[in-house]
């Protein structure tokens, strides 16, 4: 391991995954501290999910090394699986089985205590629906069952792959608060998302992934400060809106010109977003990866 990746609950060192001639993950390295929420941010196809698949021992890396909870992903797959929980980007539940049957089957795969099934369903607020077939649930309810399933073995590390994708705002918010709660309980969380608001809201630390590589790394605040630009927005009495980078000469000139003319109706400053950071770094939109 290099000095950049030493220590930490998850240590990734020059991890590569190739599918034929296509390189999905191109030598990424990072460390995740215990108890933190670490975000892998990037558009679809950036390599986030492939990275998660390697860290959760679903895919073998082409080269490079990684350890999860101090265990080597190449050698200790079964032990790692015992320590982690995963919420997949798709809602892969047995639709014909009830919520209880779904969770209880996975509980038995971990040899966990039988009482744990009801406990995790209660934790996500699904206890009253546990005898209903999952196929009849809404997307938000299914997502809660998926989170309950990921917690069945009381994992130290949770991998959440697009946990709020396709959910309504209310369900998304519920799940984000739940993720925060899990983090406060000391669980290490790896979150992949292309939702920059979510990343900003949840993550203590972020890596922006683009074409299989990490192109920026830091806290959301740090990344916005380093790569983003706050903006001054001035609205005139005539209804025109002028924008200018905050604290720039251009901004000062704009403000004094409009102020002297008595044209200013309102003034506001707008903070840079992670989307701005991403566009600045890649020249692409974060949500769809288009130029």
Partner 1 sequence: MDISKIFKIMIKDAKLSIKNMSLLIVVAIAIFLPVMMSFMMGSITASGNETVSIGIYDRGDNRDYVEYLMSVPLYNVSIYGSTDQINQSIRDGAIVGGIDVPAGFDSDIAAKNRPSLVLLTDSTNFKSLIFTESCKELTLRYAGLEYPVILQTQSVVEVPGGSGGMGDAASYSGFTAPTLLLISIIIVGVSVLPATLTTEKEKKTITALMATPVTQMDVIMGKSLFGVFVTVLISVIVLFLSNSITGNLPLAAVFVLLGAVAFNGIGLLISIYSNSYQTASIISSVIMTPLMLFTFLYTFIDELKVVGSVLPNVYLMNGLNDAIVYNKDVSTQWVNLLVFTAITVVIYAVIYVSLRRKGLAS
Q: Is 44 in the site for partner 1 (CB under 8 A)?
A: no
Show the binding pattern over residues 59-78: x = contacts partner 1 (CB under 8 A), - = does not: -------------------x
CB of 244 to partner 1, least distance (A): 49
Q: Is 106 in the site for partner 1 (CB under 8 A)?
A: yes
Chain centre distance of CA 7: 22
Judged on CB neighbours under 10 Å (0-12, 13-18, 19+), 128 is: exposed
C-alpha–C-alpha distance, residues 13 and 94, integer Å: 36
Chain centre distance of CA 228: 20
Q: Is 97 in the site for partner 1 (CB under 8 A)?
A: yes
CB of 96 to partner 1, least distance (A): 4
Which residues neighbour 84 within 8 Å (Cβ) at sequence distance 6 or greater? 56, 68, 69, 155, 156, 157, 158, 159
CB of 57 to partner 1, least distance (A): 8
Q: Is 81 in the site for partner 1 (CB under 8 A)?
A: yes
Q: Is 82 in the site for partner 1 (CB under 8 A)?
A: yes
Name which position in 37, 93, 202, 208 contacts partner 1 (CB under 8 A).
Answer: 93
Name which position in 17, 142, 149, 176 contacts partner 1 (CB under 8 A).
Answer: 149
CB of 105 to partner 1, least distance (A): 5
**Can you give the C-alpha Rg of the chain in angstroms?**
22
CB of 131 to partner 1, least distance (A): 13
Q: Which two tokens stand for residue 12?
A: 């990734």
CB of 78 to partner 1, least distance (A): 5
Q: Is 94 in the site for partner 1 (CB under 8 A)?
A: yes
Q: Which stretch binds partner 1 (CB under 8 A): 83-91, 166-174, 217-225, 253-261?
A: 83-91
Q: Which stretch binds partner 1 (CB under 8 A): 53-61, 182-190, 194-202, 213-221?
A: 53-61
Beta-carbon count within 10 A of 177 CB:
12
**Residue numbers 202-221 binding partner 1 by CB under 8 A:** none
Which residues neighbour 48 within 8 Å (Cβ) at sequence distance 6 or greater? 40, 41, 42, 161, 192, 209
CA angle 156, 160, 163 (to 5 degrees): 140
**Residue numbers 217-256 binding partner 1 by CB under 8 A:** none
Q: Is 25 in the site for partner 1 (CB under 8 A)?
A: no
Q: b/e string for 158-174 if b means 16 or more Cβ within 10 A?
A: bbbbbbbbebeeebbeb
Name which position in 46, 86, 148, 151 contacts partner 1 (CB under 8 A).
Answer: 86
C-alpha–C-alpha distance, residues 82 and 85, integer Å: 8
Which spans of this chain sit near partner 1 (rule: CB under 8 A)? 56-58, 78-79, 81-82, 86, 88, 90, 92-97, 101, 105-106, 108-111, 133, 149
């Amino acid at each position: 391991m290099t000095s950049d990746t030493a220590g930490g609950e998850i240590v990734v060192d020059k991890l590569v995954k190739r599918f034929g001639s296509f390189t999905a993950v191109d030598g990424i390295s990072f460390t995740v501290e215990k108890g933190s929420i670490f975000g892998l941010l990037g558009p679809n196809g950036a390599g986030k999910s492939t990275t998660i698949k390697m860290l959760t021992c679903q895919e073998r890396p082409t080269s490079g090394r990684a350890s999860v909870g101090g265990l080597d992903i190449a050698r200790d797959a079964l032990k790692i699986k015992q320590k982690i929980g995963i919420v997949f980007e798709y809602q892969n539940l047995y639709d014909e089985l009830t919520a209880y049957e779904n969770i209880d089957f996975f509980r038995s795969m971990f040899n966990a205590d039988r009482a744990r099934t009801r406990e995790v369903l209660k934790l996500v607020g699904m206890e009253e629906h546990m005898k209903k077939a999952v196929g009849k649930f809404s997307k938000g309810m299914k997502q809660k069952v998926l989170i309950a399933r990921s917690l069945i073995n009381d994992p130290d590390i949770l991998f959440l792959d697009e946990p709020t994708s396709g959910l309504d705002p209310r369900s998304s918010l519920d799940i984000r608060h739940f993720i925060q709660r899990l983090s406060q309980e000391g669980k290490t969380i790896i979150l992949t998302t292309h939702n920059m608001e979510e990343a900003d809201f949840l993550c203590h630390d972020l890596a922006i992934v683009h074409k299989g590589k990490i192109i920026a790394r830091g806290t959301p605040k740090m990344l916005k400060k380093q790569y983003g630009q706050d903006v001054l927005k001035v609205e005139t009495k005539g209804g025109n809106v002028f924008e200018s980078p905050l604290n720039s000469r251009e901004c000062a000139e704009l403000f004094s010109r409009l102020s002297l003319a008595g044209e200013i109706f309102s003034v506001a400053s707008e903070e840079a977003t992670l989307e701005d950071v991403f566009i600045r770094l890649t020249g692409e939109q974060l949500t769809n990866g288009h130029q």
